[in-house]
Amino acid sequence: MRKLFGTDGIRAVAGEAPLDAKTIYAVGLALAHQLNGSHPHPRVLLGMDTRESSEWIAATIAAGLAEGGAHVESAGVVTTPAIAFLARQHGFSAGVVISASHNPWQDNGIKVFGNDGYKLPDETELRIETEIFRRLENVDAPQPGSAPAVNEKYRAEYEQFLRSAVPGLDLTGLRVVLDCANGAASAIAPELFEHLGGNIHLTHASPDGHNINANCGALHPEVVAAETKSLGADLGVTFDGDADRAMLADANGKVVNGDAVMLLAARDMKQRDLLRNGTVVATTMSNMGLEAALRRDGIRMLRAPVGDKYVLERMQQEQASLGGEQSGHILFPHLATTGDGLLTALVVLDVIRRSGRSLHELVADLKVFPQVIVNVRVREKKPLDEITTVTDTIHAAEAELAESGRVVVRYSGTEALARVMIEAESEEAMRRHADCIAAAIRAELGA
């Protein structure tokens, strides 16, 4: 069991363990040592989001990496998928992103990509963790320093990659609202979309270190949806703090999530003979309505555990060319190695342009089963199958819902939360079972 790494790297309140200076420095030392085993002269590329703490965390981990013998360069404020692309493109031994994605500004995190542009396997993270704990016994954090100087060429190169990934895209005649979540997309989206034509309306693109994800971004898609409808725009797009995912809104002000994006992308890719094995890989959180809609088009849907790295693993096993999460992480492995919110937006806009249909028309037949997610803050992540009162409540819900619904109960990989997801044809049954299971968890593990 990993203790530091969750489903998306290390994440915590900045300045508190395991994101205190001593542990961050140890992470740099441990990562450099791991890289030295396979790369004679390791090189690491750093990127970060717009949080107040990102700069000092980047400087601290860079000091650890340098002390461990790695050469460190910085791309500055860029998106997470930018680092994945650039690490692979330039043959870096690893790419490191300082970001806590959709979390509030007080939090931060460390994400690591290998030189192939993919997130590290669980077993590699476990090896690094073991070394981190060993080094913590006899290491002191250095005095605060400066992060490496930013090389602006990396950001420009990533923007060029995005333009080339969807060649010939012209947004002339379209009005698009972009919510940058006051995060990393703020550094890239304005210039990227300026070169694509169209009428672009930017919101939440003025980061101040404290306003990332604050009542905006992919965690609050209703904000861009309302703005899209108010402005009479054709489409709204909203990113999270590090822009590795995107949520959308149609002209009617309706939120269009990752399930709907997978549906329209799957149909388009099937039509162009790009959907390998006629398969889409989603997660346990994707709605039953998506599965039904894909089935009508002769497309098979498989489910992986939550976390885009696990979706990708299943995609590789099945040789699938499309996968993703309801939360907006969409994977196009023929284009990129990881989820990319900006790329997803461009792909959707390209489908709209080529089809001549609106976003609403492209996903109008997706009939969503009523779904609710209840988050329960917990003091510890004790295995749920060891708690009889919780398992009995889950089994009762599953028995009643049978084929007319789904029950998914899991811990968050990045926060101290238990997530209870219920889908059902009956909204009353959905809410009743969700509340009962949440109450059982709260009684046993509530913080």
- Active site residues per annotation: 101
Which among 79, 82, 335, 315 is positioned nearest to 186, based on CA atoms?
79
CA distance 342 to 189: 7
CA distance 360 to 353: 13
The CA R_g of the chain, rounded to the nearest whole Å, is 22
| Beta bridge mates, 418 | 376, 411
User: What 3-state class would DSSP assign to 408?
Assistant: strand
Q: What share of the chain is helix, strand, coil (3-state, %, to 5)?
A: 40, 20, 35
CA distance 180 to 383: 37
Q: Residues 10, 27: contact at Cβ < 8 Å?
A: yes
> Is the bond leading into 18 cis (omega within 30 degrees of zero)?
yes
CA distance 341 to 322: 15
Which among 176, 321, 209, 191 is positioned nearest to 262, based on CA atoms?
321
How many C-beta atoms surround the C-beta of residue 254 within 10 A? 18
β-pairing verdict for 43-48 and 94-98: parallel
In 253-327, where does DSSP find H-type helix? 258-271, 288-296, 308-318
Find where tokens 């990396």 sit.
Answer: 154
- CA distances to 56, 136, 240, 328, 335 from 331, in Å: 31, 36, 16, 10, 9
Find where tokens 């900006």 sit.
Answer: 342
CA distance 402 to 419: 20
Which helix (H) or strand (E) segment holds residue 153: the answer is helix 153-165
Chain center to CA of 318: 22
